[in-house]
Structure 1
Amino acid sequence: MTQAFVETGGVPQEIWFDNQKVVVNRHKSNFGKAVFNETFAEYAKDAGFKPIAC
């Protein structure tokens, strides 16, 4: 992803992800939010984008 940000000239404000295991530890349910992988969540924070699970 970092290389994609370099190649496209920046980081978007938000990025939508499917429920892949490398990104999401627990999927959305009717009663809760998705829980992002801790390492991925830190990367998103450092890179400056908001991850959204779909």
Structure 2
Amino acid sequence: MVHVLRRLLSVGEASDVVAAAPPVSLREVFRRFWPYTRGGGAGSFPSSCSA
């Protein structure tokens, strides 16, 4: 049982970790997600900047 828990909770080797996401510019992020903020009013932009 302890062996199973250690196996589940271990980080593993570097090859087991999910690969890093490709770099994306801030402009591209806004272009992708801006349509989802419509209807939020004037608070959409400040709240998206604070996140």
Shorter-chain TM range is: under 0.3
Structure number with bigger Rg: 2
Normalised by the length of structure 2, the TM-score is 0.27
More helix by share: 2
More strand by share: 1
